[in-house]
Chain A
Amino acid sequence: MSETKSRKSKSSKSQSASYSFDIFKHELVPKHEIVPIDEAVEILKRLGVKPEDLPWIRASDPAVRAIGGKPGDIIRVIRKSPTAGEVVVYRYVIPG
């Protein structure tokens, strides 16, 4: 009797765990997107930097995982800024 009860509570727990949560809808998380390779080359040329000179972001970062980024990718982050309205920055995905 108690066994079924505890199992019931467990299943309801796992159900709420699978409840979908889109982290990009959270007010703290800005938009992330993977930059296509040809565009990335152009951006790096324009900025005059090597990929690893960009700020980094780990491959295990929840936002990177959500968009399926892999180490070596360049991620475009579109932040809301209190001073400029909207700012586009790039991050380089590192392993880890």
Chain B
Amino acid sequence: MKTSYELDKEKILEIIGKKASFLPKKIVEELISKIIAKRLSLEEAEKVIELAAQQYISSLIEPGEAIGTVTAQSIGEPGTQMTLRTFHYAGVRELNVTLGLPRFIELVDAKKTPSTPIMYIYLKDEYKNDREKALEVARKIELTTVDNVTLEVSTDPYTNSIMIRLDPEFLEDKGVSVEQVANVLKKYGDVRISDEDPYMVIISTNESDVFRLEKLKNKILKTRIKGIKGIKRAIVRRTGDEYVIVTDGSNLRSVLKLREIDPYRTYTNNIKEIEEVLGIEAARAALIREMANVLKEQGLDVDIRHLILVADMMTYTGTVRQIGRHGVTGEKESVLARAAFEITARHLLDAAARGEEDLLRGVAENVIVGQHMWIGTGRVKLFMKLSRKNEGVSNVSS
């Protein structure tokens, strides 16, 4: 009994456009798929759309609702249950990720670098199932300094030379040859490999001062042989059906330049880097993602809209600002609100010296002066139209 169905996507869209054009895309899509799946008639479909629109309007936040306070409580209460323990293992034994309360605080404070920066580097389609290639890329980006492959170093003040004995095991592990090491050291002076020991590199410099020779030694040890600055370790991990490189340390700008990787999925947990390389909107998205991830990891169910509000507050000036003294709270317009937060006397004194004005529009300042806050029912004022006085009608206006 399969009669041709009278409604299709276009037709439903048309009805929605007429009756409820304000519905967001997700609800519209859901309506369409449900209506078609249930094979509703035209009248039924219209009724359903009307009801959906009604429901949508009635669940909108009322004007004047103190959403900031609701958000603060909705994050704060579950926050009390978060672990104070900093480290959690994220699959790989040797890789730690800060999670829980410390990580959340870090995000909200808009710290420049997270305490455990981590990148997830995805590979291009042609390499993503190739373990060898993944390992090769991982080795390539892992920062290797002379120090990493050195067994011992000594300086000889008589010949102004520095002798470095390299560790064959480390060399093998990092995939570096003695020649490569010798090559990067060329800028410091004459480099030769010792005749007696193939792993001994001798650098003859023209530095005659003992202290400066010592200084040069330290500089040499920090010299980069290969890799990307900031990437301390790179581990290949299988996630789903592909190999992903997870790194300890982060350098988004440089990693994005690699050819073997998929730059469009590569991710770092360093919000500041995302802001610099991908812009404020990406930083906002990453903030939400990171915050949601922390809460999910702890098994806490906080509505994502609260996190969105926090991220919006942090990013609406075009840069990521922390929630606190040097950010959202500290840059409040109202003198009294700032004074109520921290260092009361200084804020009042500075404001007095500058002749600042407080318009008493926020919550804190109105609480201080003992007025109604401009929130919820406090937004509504009653007044009487004098001309209508005789009819005994008062008008409500917001």
Contact = CB atoms under 8 A, between A and B. Distances in A.
Interface stretch (B45-53, B203-211, B262-270): B262-270
Nearest to B315: A55
**Chain B facing A: main interface SS:** helix
A64 B280 CA distance: 10
Contacts of A19: 257, 259
Nearest to A32: B281
A83 interface: yes
A87 interface: yes
Given A5-B183, A55-B315, A63 B264 contact: no
Contacts of B282: 23, 26, 28-29, 63
Given A21-B256, A21-B263, A85 B29 contact: yes
B215 interface: no
Contacts of B317: 55-56
Contacts of B289: 28
Contacts of A85: 24-29
Contacts of B143: none
A84 interface: yes
Interface in B298-320: 304-305, 308, 312, 315-319
B285 interface: yes
A83 B281 CA distance: 17
B326 interface: no
Contact of B279 (A6, A62, A84, A87): A62
Given A27-B264, A63-B279, A82 B318 contact: no
B26 A63 contact: no
Nearest to B266: A26
A23 B281 contact: no
Interface string B304-340: 1100100010011111000000000000000000000
Contacts of A28: 267, 274, 278, 282, 285-286, 289
Given A5-B183, A83-B305, A58 B278 contact: no
B282 to A, nearest CB: 4
Interface string A31-67: 0100000000000000000000001111001111000
Contacts of B312: 55
Interface in A11-28: 16-17, 19, 21, 23, 25-28
B258 interface: yes
Interface string B68-84: 00000000000000000
Contacts of A94: 318
A94 B308 CA distance: 23
A57 B263 contact: no
A62 B257 contact: no
Interface in B169-188: 183, 186
A30 B318 contact: no
A59 B195 CA distance: 59
A25 B264 contact: yes
Interface string B161-175: 000000000000000
B134 to A, nearest CB: 18
Contacts of B308: 83
A88 B29 CA distance: 17
Contact of A84 (B26, B264, B274, B281): B26
Contacts of A86: 24-26
A19 B253 CA distance: 13
Contacts of B183: 2, 5-6
Q: Which 3 A-B pairs have the closest CB atoms?
A: A85-B26, A85-B25, A84-B24
Interface of A: 2, 5-6, 16-17, 19, 21, 23, 25-30, 32, 55-58, 61-64, 77, 79, 81-87, 91, 94, 96
Interface of B: 24-29, 183, 186, 256-259, 263-265, 267, 274, 276-282, 285-286, 289, 304-305, 308, 312, 315-319
Given A55-B315, A62-B276, 10 more contacts: A23-B277, A23-B279, A25-B264, A27-B267, A29-B281, A55-B318, A57-B280, A62-B278, A81-B24, A83-B305
